[in-house]
Structure 1
Amino acid sequence: MTRPKAILFDLGGTLVEYYKASEFHAILDDVLLDIQQMLFEKLAITFEEVTIGKRAEEENRESGDNKVRPLETRLATIFQLGDLAKEHAFMMGLCKRFLKPILAKSHVFDDTMPVLSELKDLGYQLAIVSNTPWGSPGILWREELGRIGIARFVNPIVLDRDAGWRKPAGQIFQHAMNIMRVEAKECLYVGDDPRWDIAGPRAVGMDAVLIDRSGTYTHKGIQCIKTLHELVDLVKNT
C-alpha cells in the first residue's frame, strides 16, 4: 500500500452503527406500518396488510447492475400513491418517516471523531462514499451527518443517490474522485463489508482496508484493522 493523499470512508458499520443486517426486516415492518397508519389517518387511504407486505418484499432488493432504486419510487410502488408521488414535499415527508427509526438508533463509534480529527490535522483529504438504506435521499443523510458532527471533517459526502450507483459499482468511487480531483492510486478506502468496500474500490485501482470490529473475517489478501486508531498507525507507516 502506498501513502494515500485521500482517505474515503464507508458510513454505516464503519463510522457509525445504525442497525445490524439481521435487524432490518423488523425495522422495515415497523416503519411501513407507521406510514400505512399515517396515510389512513391523514388521507383516509386504506390498504390490505398482506398486499403491502408482498409489495415490500418485492421492493426489498437492489438492481443487479447496482443502479440506485430511489426510496421515493419504492414507497410509491408499495403504497400505490399515484399522483401523490409527484408531490415533492409529501414524498420527502414519507422518506423522513422511513428513516426516523434508523437514525434514532445511531451510535457514533468511540474512535470515529478522534481519528477523523487526527487524520484531518495530518493533512489528508477525507470523504464519505456510502450506500444508503433503500436509496434514501442524500439531503436527509447530510442533515444526519451534520447533526452527529461528522460532516465537519469530510468533504465531499458522496452517497449512492448522488452518483446514481451503489457500491460496489465503480461509478460511485469515480464520482467521488472527480469531485476531489484525485486519482485512484492516491486514495485509500475504508469500510466494513468485503463485498462492497474491498472489491469495489480495488476494481477502480484504489487500495482498500477492511475494518473488522468484531474480528469475524478471515479473508486472505485483505488488509484488516479492528479499530480506526489502527488506521492512523497504518497510514503513518506507509
Structure 2
Amino acid sequence: MNHFLCYFEFNFLNMRSFICFDLGETLINFNLKNRWYKSLKNEVIPLMWARLKQLTTSKPENIEFTRFQNVLYKSIAREFTIEKNTSFIDRIKIGLSRLNIDYNEEIKENLLDSFYKIIREKSTLFPEVQEILNYLNRRKYTIGLFSDTPWQSPGYLMDRLLKHHEIYSLIDFRLYSGDIKIRKPNPRTLLILSEKAKKRSEDMVYIGDKDVDIEVAFRCKIPSILVNRHKDKRVKLSRKPTYEIDSLLHLKEIISKL
C-alpha cells in the first residue's frame, strides 16, 4: 500500500467537519483479537470471583468456582453472544440469579471494574493517535466516536479507558452501543451521534478498521475510511471504502478532500 488508496471521490470538498472514529483497533489496540471469549472466561470471570469473595455482603456461599465460572460465562457470552443488545449488566444479573447470589450496587461495581481492569491492562494506544487527534483539534474539526462495546458493556467503562490513555479530552462527542442498545451497522448509531453533536450527516466521515464500519457509513450515505495497518493483508469487505489508509496520520493528506 502506498500511503493510502482512494476508491472514489466525493464532490463535497472541505465540507466534512465532523470526523468520527471507531474505537477498538482504530484508536486503541485491545490486543484481544479472536481472544475475547477466552479472556472473559479465564481472566475476567476469575477476577470477578475473587472480588465477590472479598465482599462483606452477598458472598457466594456453597458455590464452587467452576460452577460460578460456567454459569457467568454462559449468561454473559453464550446465551446472547457479543452482538446481541442485552446489556452486560442484565447478563450478569441473570447469571447471579441462577447462582442464588443477590445482586446489588456493590456487586455491580466490583464485577464491572473486574472487566474494566482486564481490558485496561491489555489495551495500548496506537502510536499516532494523540498526534492526529491534536492535529484535528487545532484545525477546529469536531471529533466524534461511536463504538460497539463488548457484550453491550456500559459506555462509561470505555470513557474510563479513554481517560487512562489520555485522549478523552480530545474527543468532543462519544456514544456507545451498550448505552443505546443499537449496534453497527444500524445507521441509527451514527445518526444519534450526529444529533448529539448537533451536526448533519452531511458533515460526517466515519473511520474504522472493520467491514461493519464501512457498511454503517454506506447506510448513512457518508464517506468511509478504512484503517488497515497490516499492509500485507487485505481486509475482507462487502463494500469499498472511500479511502483505505495504513496509518491515521494519512488523514492529514486526505481530510480536505472529503
TM category (shorter chain) comes to 0.7 to 0.9
* Residues 72 and 193 of structure 1, relative CA distance in 2, 3 Å threshold: same
Name the structure where helix makes up a greater proportion of residues.
1
CA deviation digits over 1:173-210, x for unaligned, max 9? 1110101111222100001111x211012212221111
Aligned-residue offset at 1:83:
7.2
Aligned to 1:12: 24
Aligned to 1:107: 124
8 Å Cα contact 1:76-1:82 kept in structure 2: no
CA deviation digits over 1:44-98, x for unaligned, max 9? 431462574265245326969x66321111122233366733x234212211112
Structure with more relative contact order (C-alpha pairs < 8 Å, separation 6 or more): 2
Answering whether residue 24 of structure 2 is matched by residue 35 of structure 1, we say no
Aligned to 1:227: 247
Aligned residues: 235
8 Å Cα contact 1:27-1:102 kept in structure 2: no
Distance in 2 between the 1:209 and 1:101 partners? Answer: 30
Aligned to 2:155: 138
Aligned to 2:102: 84
Coordinate RMSD, CA, aligned: 2.4
8 Å Cα contact 2:60-2:101 kept in structure 1: no
* Residues 51 and 147 of structure 1, relative CA distance in 2, 3 Å threshold: closer
8 Å Cα contact 2:26-2:227 kept in structure 1: yes
TM-score (norm 1): 0.88
Q: 2:225 aligns with which of 205, 209, 222?
A: 209
Distance in 1 between the 2:107 and 2:53 partners? Answer: 14
Structure 1 residue runs of 4 or more that deviate by more than 4 Å after TM superposition: 61-64
Distance in 1 between the 2:64 and 2:178 partners? Answer: 29
Gaps of 5+ in 1: none
Moved more, 19-28 or 221-230: 19-28
Distance in 1 between the 2:181 and 2:229 partners? Answer: 29
The structure whose Rg is larger is 2
Aligned-residue offset at 1:137:
1.7
Distance in 2 between the 1:36 and 1:149 partners? Answer: 30
TM-score (norm 2): 0.81
Distance in 2 between the 1:31 and 1:141 partners? Answer: 16
